[in-house]
Amino acid sequence: MRYLERAPPPDLAAGIECVWEVRDGRASSLRAPERIVPDGCPELIVHLGDPFSRQVAGRWVRQPRAFLAGTLTRPWLVRAGRRVHTVGIRFRPAAAAHLLGPGVEGAADREVILDRLVGRREGRALVDSLRGADTVAARWRAATSWLRARRDAAGPHGPGARPAVELILRARGRIRIAELAQRLGWSRRRLERVFARDLGVRPKLYARIVRLNAVLAALDREERGRAVDVALEAGYFDEAHLLRDFRTLAGRTPTRGRESDGELARHFTRPERLRALLDGD
């Protein structure tokens, strides 16, 4: 598979991490599954080739052609279709709700069809513009033009959950929710409410995801035999605590490399990408 990603233009960078595209000129019906590890970033997916399938309750379920993958709280096993050509728009944490509307609140661990979020006309406009573009650069321009139109139509908005997200990222997930609320001058109820609206998950769970990603970013630079030391530095109580979170959130052990996630999914857990995410870049 050929994977490419581009940073958004500066006026969209506050809400969009990147626009990515994966394509394979070889048709195949024997593709290995991919393990998508949670990173706190919802993604808008448009399958221009055959849709992927996701494993749900032990069976493979075909994904919609255009949908929002909400904030993940557990790993997804997905399998590419015979003809691979997919475009993804990766939102920064807490940014999707402003551009896509209130449907984001119920999107955690789900595929929400794009038309149900933005209406059939706008959903069709994005899909048609991507299909009509004949180069990677043209598809990037089509995606960013659509996002810009959504932003302009939505108008100004408040910070929402972003201040809390920034504090959690800065702490690498090592912050208690009571302390987080106190530092923001918010009530616990307000904190829970803005996270539900903007990310679709509770702040404590988001902090766990951030802490896991901090370990994933470090383990590729460290010897995997030092996983316990890295985990203790990241705020885990002990090795058992680390293993539980890895099994729950990543679906694998910390000593297995990201290469085991799959040909496409390993790009999503690149250490430099996770470090940039944690640093808010």
Domain ranges of the chain: 2-154, 162-278
- What per-residue confidence (pLDDT) applies to 133? 97
- Classify residue 114 as exposed, middle or buried by CB count within 10 Å of its CB (0-12, 13-18, 19+): buried
Give the confidence band of 209 by pLDDT, cuts at 50, 70, 90: very high
- For 135-175, what is each residue's pLDDT tens digit? 999 999 999 999 999 999 888 888 899 999 999 999 999 99
Alpha helices in 155-187, H assignment, sequence order: 162-170, 177-184
Whole-angstrom distance, CA of residue 147 vs CA of residue 107:
19
Q: Do domains 2-154 and 162-278 have the same CATH topology?
A: no
- What per-residue confidence (pLDDT) applies to 236? 72
Please determine, for residue 281, whether its predicted confidence score (pLDDT) is greater than 80: no
Residue 140 CA neighbour count, 13 Å, CB half = 17
- What per-residue confidence (pLDDT) applies to 240? 76
Contact between 27 and 82 (Cβ < 8 Å): yes
Count other C-beta atoms under 10 Å from residue 104's C-beta: 26
* Paired tokens of 6: 């581009």
Max distance between CA atoms of the chain, in angstroms, equals: 55
- For 226-275, what is each residue's pLDDT tens digit? 666 666 666 676 677 777 888 888 888 777 777 788 999 999 999 899 99
Count other C-beta atoms under 10 Å from residue 42's C-beta: 27
When pLDDT is averaged across residues 194-218 and rounded to a whole number, the result is: 92
Give the confidence band of 68 by pLDDT, cuts at 50, 70, 90: very high
What's the Cα-to-Cα distance from 273 to each of 19, 49, 280, rounded to whole Å? 13, 26, 11
- What per-residue confidence (pLDDT) applies to 217? 85
- Using CA atoms of 266, 173, 74, 97 in order, give the dihedral in degrees to the nearest 10: -90
- DSSP annotation of 51: P
- Listed residue (205, 16, 196) closest to 107, CA to CA: 196
Average pLDDT of the residues of the chain: 91
Interaxial angle between packed helices 203-219 and 227-234, expressed in degrees from 0 to 180 and rounded to the nearest 10: 140
* Paired tokens of 61: 């379920």
What's the Cα-to-Cα distance from 207 to each of 12, 31, 43, 66, 210, rounded to whole Å? 25, 33, 19, 29, 5
CATH class belonging to 162-278: mainly alpha
Please determine, for residue 220, whether its predicted confidence score (pLDDT) is greater than 90: no
- What per-residue confidence (pLDDT) applies to 227? 62
- What per-residue confidence (pLDDT) applies to 252? 81
- Classify residue 272 as exposed, middle or buried by CB count within 10 Å of its CB (0-12, 13-18, 19+): exposed
Predicted TM-score (pTM) of the model is 0.92
Report residue 38 CA to chain centroid gap. 6
Alpha helices in 17-135, H assignment, sequence order: 96-100, 114-118, 120-132
- What per-residue confidence (pLDDT) applies to 228? 63
Architecture of 2-154 per CATH? Sandwich (2.60)
- For 77-126, what is each residue's pLDDT tens digit? 999 999 999 999 999 999 999 899 888 888 999 999 999 999 999 999 99
When pLDDT is averaged across residues 214-230 and rounded to a whole number, the result is: 68
φ, ψ (nearest 5 deg) of residue 137: -60, -40
